[in-house]
Amino acid sequence: MAGNILIEEYTVGDVQTNCYFIINPQTKEALIIDPGASAGFLAGKLRAGNYKPVAILLTHGHFDHAAAAEDLKKEFDIPIYAYEGEKRVLENPMLNLTGMWSMHGEKFSADIYVKDGEVLDLAGFQIKVLFTPGHTPGGCCYYFDGYKVLASGDTLFAASVGRTDFPEGSMSDLVRGIREKLFDLPGDTEVLPGHMGRTTIGYERQYNPFL
């Protein structure tokens, strides 16, 4: 917990994806970032904390980040947000990787598609959308302005970056987005990646070997 923000992290699914609850401790309102699996488990954690889910934020459309979103949407009657350029990835089994990982491809969707630079007012937080393509064509990060917290999805990891060998990936786009969008953030910004452990913008600016 930092100031008036509470972060809970749960690793879900076969690919060990980090799902985050970003919680306003005063109102108990919660945002769910990248619920890739285990909808029942995540719903139980939300109820155990007496949290009030407000929205689901997807950093991108791969199944390991989006697969449980629809079930949680129905469970709590809340909208799913994603970047406007990611609609095709969500809806295409070959692009969202369900068609590559199983014989039964799935389609995902969002209710609200956001734009680069848009500021979302959710759960008492001001959240800036940062378009960071490369891992997928419409990948994005969410910056919690005033709290120095960044949900980076599969764009930026601790001492690493997201894979770009999936369909329509681009290493040049990924690196450009990190340098132009993420590295402009304060050095003490806490980075919440889609996999593995947390880091900071300052550490990655200085030590990330890919950048």
Average pLDDT over all residues of the chain: 96
Q: Which two tokens stand for residue 135?
A: 């891992």
- Residue 1's pLDDT band, with cuts at 50, 70 and 90, is very low
The tokens describing 71, both together, are 């079930």
pLDDT higher than 80, residue 88 = yes
- Mean pLDDT, range 41-52, rounded to an integer: 98
Domains and CATH numbers, the chain: 6-207 (3.60.15.10)
Contact 68, 39 (CB under 8 A): yes
Is the pLDDT reported for residue 195 higher than 60?
yes
DSSP result, the chain: --SS-EEEEEEETTTTEEEEEEE-TTT-EEEEE---S-HHHHHHHHHHTT-EEEEEE-S---HHHHTTHHHHHHHHT--EEEEGGGHHHHH-TTTSSHHHHSSS------SEEE-TT-EEEETTEEEEEEE--SSSTT-EEEEETTTTEEEEETTEETTEE----STT--HHHHHHHIIIIITTS-TTPEEEESSS--EEHHHHHHH-TT-
73 confidence band (pLDDT: 50, 70, 90): very high
For the stretch 3-41, pLDDT in tens is 689 999 999 999 999 999 999 999 999 999 999 999 999
- At 2, the pLDDT band (50, 70, 90 cuts) reads low
Q: What is the pLDDT of residue 105?
A: 85
| Confidence (pLDDT) at 57 | 99
Over range 96-120, report the average pLDDT.
Answer: 91
Share of the chain above pLDDT 70, in %: 97
pLDDT more than 90, % of the chain: 95
How confident is the model at residue 192, as a pLDDT?
A: 98
Residues 152, 140: contact at Cβ < 8 Å? no
Q: Is the pLDDT of residue 102 over 70?
A: no
